[in-house]
């Protein structure tokens, strides 16, 4: 289920006119319309203007309607001088420009007593929206949206907002919705069409163009929703719960940390459910996990499938007789091993790890299973880093692979 929000009547009326099988629910004074749009389950709400209204509606969408993502759609004032009325901004991120606790030692825009300031939109939704925009005869940019509880009509103020926060457009809701989504680990995307230039003519332009600009946002959101159908929408949640730690364990590495996914009971369950769903009908004799994070998902998955679990460990950790395999690391070499009696000849084996990067570790694990004459059904990961070509390496060696989420550009 996708949540769709707009602040104003003209921003949501087009969605309501195309919604099928509509059901109306009133909560905290807001009307929520659930139904089908482009064949997808959605809930549409008109939040009214301002950060409080938008925040309440976003939280209701998440808690009451259990939406897996939120799209905020509507119009905005341009800050970027390259933007003209009716152009579209897809959010890369957003900031609340009216938060100011500088006197307490925080940056402008920073939520006091927290690290929160810039709220990133979902990479995956952003990419889909941007490629959906290809077929539009409109200028579409990715950019930063600034939000505050003010309708900006002062050229000097819009100039200083642009300078200070590097914003591309300004509105009264987006970053508040993004803030709520960040606190709830729900992916979001903002799509704003330019209705005015946030200057002295803003109120006139807003009234004249907001209807037409809303239509542009609507057409793009509709296209985005129908494209989302073809993607693994149920993995949005999982992806958003994996933390990125830059420069760890060394400079230049973006470490994908699954501990944030594991500690989240909904996320952990959903991930295991998806893996169980994939493997439950297959002929498998044992699940093999690679040290250390492959033990966590591998063991739970084995148990849910009613199978035994086998450990592949770094050399020197297993007590009984082993076979080992050496493989290349970025600098130097490493060795992993398996107990000789862990796999019987001809056993059908599923190999599990948290992440595939270059594929060196997983290929070594495959070779170990082959040394014991096991048959590899598939090698399964939560995360794939496609740019490092690990999956291709395994597939070239003749092994089937599977992963739940991709992080591109790493």
Active site residue ranges: 11, 196
Q: Least Å distance between CB 359 and ligand AMP?
A: 5
Q: Least Å distance between CB 273 and ligand AMP?
A: 22
Q: Least Å distance between CB 204 and ligand AMP?
A: 51
137 CB contacts (<8 Å, ≥6 apart)? none
**CA atoms of 176 and 57, how far apart (whole Å):** 11
Q: What tokens appear for 193 in the block? A: 């069409």
- Measure the CA angle with vertex 115, ends 109 and 117; round to 5°: 30
Q: Least Å distance between CB 322 and ligand AMP?
A: 19
Residue (of 295, 261, 302) closest to 280 by Cα position: 302
63/397 with CB nearer ligand AMP: 397
Q: Least Å distance between CB 248 and ligand AMP?
A: 8
Residue (of 77, 83, 88, 90) closest to 207 by Cα position: 77
Looking from the CA of 219 toward its CB, the CA atoms found within 13 Å total 16
Note the helical H segments in 19-154: 51-63, 123-132
Question: Could you list the residues that contact ligand AMP (CB under 6 A)?
Answer: 253-256, 293, 353-362, 390
Q: Least Å distance between CB 198 and ligand AMP?
A: 40
31/329 with CB nearer ligand AMP: 329
239/256 with CB nearer ligand AMP: 256
**CA atoms of 193 and 139, how far apart (whole Å):** 10
Neighbouring-strand partners of residue 255? 245
**CA atoms of 259 and 271, how far apart (whole Å):** 13
* Residue that the structure tokens 């944030």 belong to: 260
- 312 C-beta neighbours (distance < 10 Å), count: 29
126/293 with CB nearer ligand AMP: 293
- The string over 263-300, giving b where at least 16 C-beta atoms fall within 10 Å of a residue's C-beta and e elsewhere, is ebeebbebbbebbeeebeeeebbbbbbbbebbbbbbeb
253/299 with CB nearer ligand AMP: 253
216/401 with CB nearer ligand AMP: 401
């Amino acid at each position: 289920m996708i949540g769709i929000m707009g602040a104003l009547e003209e921003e949501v009326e087009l969605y309501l006119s195309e919604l099928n099988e509509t059901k109306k629910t009133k909560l905290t004074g807001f009307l929520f319309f659930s139904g089908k749009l482009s064949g997808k389950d959605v809930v549409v709400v008109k939040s009214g203007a301002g950060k409080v209204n938008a925040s309440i509606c976003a939280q209701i969408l998440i808690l009451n309607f259990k939406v897996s993502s939120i799209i905020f759609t509507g119009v905005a004032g341009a800050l970027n001088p390259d933007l003209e009325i009716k152009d579209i901004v897809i959010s890369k991120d957003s900031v609340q420009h009216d938060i100011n606790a500088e006197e307490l030692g925080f940056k402008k825009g920073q939520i006091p007593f927290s690290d929160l300031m810039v709220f990133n939109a979902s990479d995956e939704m952003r990419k889909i929206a941007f490629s959906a925009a290809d077929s539009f005869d409109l200028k579409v940019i990715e950019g930063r949206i600034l939000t505050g509880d003010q309708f900006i009509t002062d050229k000097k103020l819009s100039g200083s907002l642009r300078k200070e926060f590097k914003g591309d457009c300004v509105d009264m809701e987006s970053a508040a919705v993004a803030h709520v989504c960040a606190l709830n680990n729900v992916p979001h995307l903002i799509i704003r069409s330019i209705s005015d230039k946030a200057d002295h003519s803003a109120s006139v332009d807003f009234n004249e163009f907001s209807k037409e600009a809303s239509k542009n946002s609507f057409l793009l959101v509709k296209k985005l929703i129908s494209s989302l159908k073809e993607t693994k929408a149920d993995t949005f949640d999982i992806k958003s719960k994996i933390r990125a730690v830059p420069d760890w364990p060394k400079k230049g590495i973006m470490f994908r940390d699954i501990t944030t996914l594991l500690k989240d009971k909904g996320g952990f369950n959903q991930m295991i459910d998806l893996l169980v769903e994939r493997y439950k009908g297959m002929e498998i004799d044992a699940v093999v996990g690679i040290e250390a994070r492959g033990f966590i998902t591998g063991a739970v998955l084995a148990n849910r499938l009613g199978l035994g679990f086998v450990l592949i460990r770094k050399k020197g950790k297993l007590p009984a007789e082993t076979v080992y395999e050496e493989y290349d690391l970025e600098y130097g070499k490493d060795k992993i091993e398996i107990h000789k009696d862990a796999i019987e000849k001809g056993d059908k084996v599923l190999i599990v790890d948290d992440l595939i990067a270059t594929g060196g570790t997983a290929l070594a694990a495959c070779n170990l299973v082959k040394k014991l004459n096991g048959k590899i059904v598939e090698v399964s990961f939560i995360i794939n880093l496609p740019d490092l070509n690990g999956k291709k390496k395994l597939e070239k060696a003749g092994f089937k692979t599977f992963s739940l989420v991709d992080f591109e550009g790493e």
